[in-house]
Amino acid sequence: MTSQLFTPIALRGLTQPNRIVVAPMCQYSAIDGSATDWHILHLGSLAVAGPGLVMIEATGVEAEGRITPGCLGLYSDANEAALSRAVDACRAYGKAPIGIQLAHAGRKASCHVPWQGGGPLAAGDGAWQTVGPSAVSFDDGWHTPRALDRAGMDHVKAAFLAAAGRAQRLGLDLIEMHSAHGYLMHQFLSPFSNRRTDEYGGSLENRMRFPLEVARALRQTWPEDKPFGVRISASEWMDGGFTIDEAVIYCRALKAIGCDYICVSSGGNAAKARIPFGPNYQVPFAARIRKEAGIATRAVGLIVEPHQAEAILAEGEADMVALARGFLDDPHWVWHAAEALGADAVYPPQYLRCKPATWPGARIARGEPKTKVA
């Protein structure tokens, strides 16, 4: 039987050669928002390894929208030039389409990188004023954001559009608006962070208004033949937060404005939420949104094994899967999945000799002869 995972998928003018996506992963290795050689190594090693799409990490649309001082940005000519080095290297040696996640961290900006604790920066560490829908901090001890007024919202929207223009100049294949994990768009959606009393707060219709406004503008500015997606947190895992029922309504509205897919994650906006981590723990959300909003979904979160990923697609729960830690652990996950599922994967010519079919002696030497599953 043909593997679903290795069946191409077309989104507008882009055909992803398979349905395996490298999830966006912050590397905290940029300088003033500009990509470094680390990004060439990191993205390059994944772009040559056969995925259907590589997503570039959450990329701040303005300096104040970065989570940490090490986060990637796309708000200056220098940022654009630096990222073009990494993108060009991926293009020169790899065949994977490349997308970028455009982000604004809102009240969760101005933090240390994770390996320095990840908490809010102190004034002496270069902390900056954060913004949010309301002046409500993420948790005790976190920065209190300045509530955005209309001029501030216009400024954020313009920053998203300018970054999308830069993404287009870089020749990227897809943009994704980050509306998950407690960052600015999610902050507008959630009653925990949005306490506004104007037309951007209160009812779901009001809480969705600004994210939809930005998404609509992005869709209009981004070339019509290129896909535009949104990553959402479909649940906050806590009473009183944004719910999966609301997420379905949000995704219907996103579909109506021309969004092509939803990457379905969860959590990130409620510091005290207890998330039931486990294999496929977010997949039921992707399945519901796919069914009830009628839009392509990308499932993500503790999808680790090839047969597990294949089953998600075969059972119609999602159209694509994304892996993050799985790719850090095994950058050649796609090749190993192809082997397990009896499918073909793309190898760069330099690495063709590692393809197990050409390498029987070595497999036996490894003591792990692998059987192909038809």
Ligand X SMILES: Cc1cc2nc3c(=O)[nH]c(=O)nc-3n(C[C@H](O)[C@H](O)[C@H](O)COP(=O)(O)O)c2cc1C
Q: Which stretch binds ligand X (CB under 6 A): 160-168, 234-242, 254-262, 319-327?
A: 319-327
Looking at 28, 183, 250, 347, which residue is catalytic? 183
Cβ pair 166, 72 in contact under 8 A = no
Q: Which stretch binds ligand X (CB under 6 A): 12-20, 187-195, 324-332, 353-361?
A: 324-332
| Among positions 9, 11, 25, 30, the unique one binding ligand X when judged by CB under 6 A | 25
Total residues interacting with ligand X, rule: CB under 6 A:
20
35: contact with ligand X by CB under 6 A? no
* CB nearer ligand X, residue 22 or residue 295: 22
| Angstrom distances, CA of residue 285 to CA of 70, 288, 307 | 32, 5, 20
* CB nearer ligand X, residue 23 or residue 46: 23
* CB nearer ligand X, residue 67 or residue 212: 67
CB of 233 to ligand X, least distance (A): 9
Total number of residues shown for the chain: 374
Q: Which stretch binds ligand X (CB under 6 A): 31-39, 40-48, 77-85, 295-303?
A: 295-303
Strands (E), 224-366: 228-233, 261-265, 296-300, 320-323
| Among positions 23, 49, 53, 105, the unique one binding ligand X when judged by CB under 6 A | 23
* CB nearer ligand X, residue 26 or residue 153: 26
Positions 121 through 180 that interact with ligand X (CB under 6 A): 178, 180
CA atoms within 13 A on the CB side of 52: 25
* CB nearer ligand X, residue 328 or residue 354: 328
Cα 6 from Cα 256, distance rounded (Å): 29
Burial of 63 (0-12, 13-18, 19+ CB in 10 A): middle
At 210 the three-state DSSP class reads helix
* CB nearer ligand X, residue 201 or residue 242: 242
Cα 22 from Cα 238, distance rounded (Å): 28
The b-or-e profile of 1-38 (16+ CB within 10 A means b, else e) is eebbbbeebebbebebbbbbbbbbbbbbbbeebbbbee
Burial of 135 (0-12, 13-18, 19+ CB in 10 A): middle
Q: State both tokens at 263.
A: 């990457």
Positions 206 through 235 that interact with ligand X (CB under 6 A): 231
Q: Which stretch binds ligand X (CB under 6 A): 40-48, 79-87, 210-218, 320-328?
A: 320-328
Report phi then psi at 320, rounded to 5: -145, 160
Binding mask 101-120 for ligand X (x = CB under 6 A): x-------------------
Cα 54 from Cα 52, distance rounded (Å): 7
Q: Is 183 a catalytic residue?
A: yes
CB of 35 to ligand X, least distance (A): 13
Return the closest-CA partner of residue 276 out of 329, 236, 315: 236
Q: Any idea which residues carry the catalytic annotation?
A: 183
Positions touching ligand X (CB under 6 A) are 23-26, 57-58, 101, 178, 180-181, 231, 265, 300-303, 323-326
